[in-house]
Structure 1
Amino acid sequence: MSIFLLRRVLYGALVLVGVNLATFFLFFTVNTPDDMARLNIGGKYVKQDTIDKWKAERGYDKPLYWNASRMGRAQLTDTIFWDRSVSLFTLRFGRSDSESAGDIGAEVAQRMGVSLKLALPLFALQVLASVAFALLLVLFRRTRLDFWGVVLCVVMLSISSLFYIIVGQLLFSRVLRLVPISGYVPGWEAVKFLALPISLSLLARLGGEARLYRAMLLEELGKDYVRTARAKGLAEGRVLRRHVLRNALIPIITSAGSYLPYVFLGSLVFESFFGLPGLGAYVIDAITKQDFAVVRTMVFLGSLLYIASYVLIDLAYTWADPRVRLA
């Protein structure tokens, strides 16, 4: 297993390097440091002195890839590429490009706690609710409950997340006044600000996940080991829980594990609409301000988390099915 993990980590490192290089190249091909200065200062007809001052304050006055005026190692290290791309691998993110230029690393560390408070309960509830709903539909398959349950899943899947947000805020915040419509405070009082976005996000994803898990469980029901378990006289509910669900864990882990990066990066839409100061709102705000330093950082973190999540998924396979061997 150690050889497998080492190989996967090396593959992941190569992917991360490729993504980082491609991101840096695309960003600075589309927008030169002068273009970025004009976008942040606000206008095409900005004096060159103002542009140069903005670039000097944020370290964009250096050569892009290679400093021909320096000798030795300094030729590479004294460049924008080194400061804004290579430094990401040491988790040094630098300053943002907006006028309120702050330290990106400090912002990420501060906002990650809010995103975790939103996403960790959501992740656990999402898996439990989706699997439980799918098991219920499979247990009552070929009945009206199964039929209308699938119809409900399709309807829930077809509705946009924005609809859930607008209706939820109108009903629970404006009409019933059970929870605040937006905002956030630290501590235990954060529960009342997180309850509605967690519930609505769970509702928005429940239909698609439950329908997917139902299909996985139904596929397992047609296999020989299920007929053997039934021939032994086991109740249908026990067959589903002890045999079918366990053998369907591999695809369920794959589906649920792909959602893990969102646990750390936050929900873009829900954090923005509910005024939660998490990483998702940070990304939206950076895109609005055209703060490319923040966007590049979040692309890098997203790639890193996706690679880590798929390594964890492979490890979870061995727990779910002892027949799986990582070599």
Structure 2
Amino acid sequence: MGKYVLQRIVQSLIVLAGALVISFVILRVVPGDPAVLMLSDMATPDEIEQMRVTLGVHEPVWTQFGIYLQQIATGDFGISYRRGAPALPLVMSYLPATFELALAALLITLVVAVPLGVLAARRKNSWIDNALSMGALLGQSLPVFWLGIMLILLVSVQLRLLPTSGYGEFRHLVLPAVTLAFSHIALVARITRSSMLEVIRQDYIRTARAKGLPERTILRRHALRNALAPVVTVLGLQVGTLLGGAIITETVFGWPGAGALLVSSITYRDYPVVQVMVVVSALIFVVTNLLVDVIYVMLDPRVSVS
């Protein structure tokens, strides 16, 4: 297992390096001059050039890339062009709200989707199974922004049960988290159902039944553990989707996370802030998938052997 984990760590570092290089290149080739965007329309060419010098974007690309690598190594990404504050602490001040929303959505997904998938597998071709299939298709088809707006109109405006926006209390978290989790519940429930159906056809499940073990014990101790490996893999891949979907959800519900900060920073070519966001997001995604690989081996030790 140690060799397997070491290989995954090396692969993760390569992926992280590739993500950082690609983000640097894309940010520089996108049309738009941060100096022009920061100044008024009345700015003179001399003022624009002076702003380029101040921001450091007048340097050759290779020089900027060297500075970029130095910033990553030291953790000093410079000052936000637009907000005038250190980029790293600025992003870190917004991240807790985004993490709170993403983790709440992930928890809702696990608590709801896995039992639904197991239930649908146990009741294959029943009305429960058919209803889950239709609900999963509907859940993956609905746009996040539309679902969020509909929940606001129904739950907040019509029923007056929860606030439309805000931050700091549990009631402010419910609607955004449910909105973000909805499509993920549909996907994970379908994966759980398919995995459970495959596992319960195996010989060791028939042997457990022949021994007279209760069906609940068979499902919990023998079937579910082996069926969770694909589910864990899908959940690891969904972390990036959760962070991406959080941008839209935060906009709809006025959630003070890093999504709105990222959008405005890209619009104004605020390189330091965007670079911090890319580094943090890539690091989160790589670490999460590394943990998923380790958990996968714990669930199925045959993976490390192969």
TM-score (norm 1): 0.84
Does the alignment pair 1:319 with 2:294? no
Corresponding residue for residue 45 of structure 2: 48
Q: 2: distance between equivalents of 1:238 and 1:249? A: 16
Report how far residue 42 of structure 1 moved: 5.2
Residue 62 of structure 1 aligns with an amino acid whose one-letter code is E
Deviations 1:39-82 (A, max 9, x none): 33355x842221123223323343432xxxxxxxxxxxxx3223
Instruction: Please tell me whether residue 183 in structure 1 is matched to residue 163 in structure 2.
Output: no
From 86, 95, 100, the counterpart of 1:117: 100
Q: 1:26 to 1:308 in 2, by over 3 A?
A: same
Query: Could you tell me whether the CA contact under 8 Å between 2:120 and 2:132 is conserved in 1?
Result: yes
Q: Is 1:151–2:134 an aligned residue pair?
A: yes
**Residue aligning to 2:174:** 195
Partner residue, 1:16: 16
| Paired residue secondary structure (1:267) | helix
| Corresponding position of 2:148 | 165
Q: Which amino acid aligns with 2:17?
A: V
> What residue number does 1:26 align with?
26
**Alignment partners' CA distance in 1, 2:249 and 2:90:** 19
Aligned mates of 1:96, 1:281 — CA distance in 2: 15
Find the residue that maps to 1:259 and give its secondary structure: helix
Aligned length: 306
Q: Is the 8 A contact 1:19 1:303 kept in 2?
A: yes
Q: Cα 1:42–1:9, aligned 2, differ >3 Å: closer, same or farther?
A: farther
State the 1:201 CA deviation: 2.0
CA–CA separation in structure 2 for the residues paired with 1:264 and 1:162: 15
Q: Distance in 1 between matches of 2:29 and 2:128?
A: 56
**Sequence identity (%):** 31
**Greater fraction helix:** 2
TM-aligned CA distance change 1:143 to 1:3, over 3 Å: closer
Distance in 2 (CA, whole Å) between partners of 1:292 and 1:64 is 13
Given the alignment of the two structures, is residue 280 of structure 1 paired with residue 259 of structure 2, yes or no?
yes
What CA deviation, in whole Å up to 9, does each residue of 1:112-139 have, x standing for no partner?
2112221222212211211011011112
Give matches, 1:32-111, under 5 Å. Answer: 35-41=33-39, 43=41, 46-65=43-62, 79-98=63-82, 100-111=83-94
* Counterpart-to-counterpart distance in 2, 1:5 and 1:42: 53
Instruction: Give unpaired runs (5+ residues) of structure 2.
Output: none
Counterpart for residue 239 of structure 1:
218
Q: Contact conserved, 2:108 with 2:178, CA < 8 A, in 1?
A: no
TM-superposed CA distance for 1:19, in Å, is: 2.5
Q: Distance in 1 between matches of 2:244 and 2:135?
A: 29
Q: Deviations over 1:253-299 (max 9, x none)?
A: 10112233567777111111111111222222223434343333322
Judged with a 3 Å threshold, the aligned counterparts in structure 2 of structure 1 residues 149 and 301 are, in CA distance, closer, same or farther, namely: same
Q: Is the 8 A contact 1:84 1:94 kept in 2?
A: no
Give the match for residue 258 of structure 1: 237
Unaligned runs of 5+ in 1: 66-78
Q: CA RMSD in A?
A: 2.5
C-alpha contact 2:192 2:228 (8 A) present in aligned 1: no
Once the two structures are TM-superposed, the CA of residue 173 in structure 1 deviates from its matched residue by 1.5
Q: What's the counterpart of residue 276 of structure 2? A: 297
Instruction: Answer whether contact 2:248 2:259 (CA < 8 A) is retained.
Output: yes
Q: Are the equivalent residues in 1 in contact too, given 2:188–2:231 (CA < 8 A)?
A: no
SS in 1 for 2:304: coil
* 8 A Cα contact 1:131 1:210, kept in partner: yes
Larger RCO, structure (CA 8 Å, separation 6 or more)? 2
Per-residue Cα deviation, 1:143-164 (whole angstroms, up to 9, x for no partner): 1221122112212222221221
Q: Which moved more, 1:317-326 or 1:155-164?
A: 317-326
1:37 partner amino acid = A
Residue 129 of structure 2 aligns to which amino acid in structure 1?
Answer: D
Output the TM-score relative to the length of structure 2. Answer: 0.89
CA contact (8 A) 2:88 2:273 kept: no
- 2:57–2:64: 8 Å Cα contact kept in structure 1? yes
Q: For the structure 1 residues 153 and 127, does the alpha-carbon distance in structure 2 shift closer, same or farther, using more than 3 Å as the test?
A: same
- CA offset at residue 140 of structure 1? 1.4
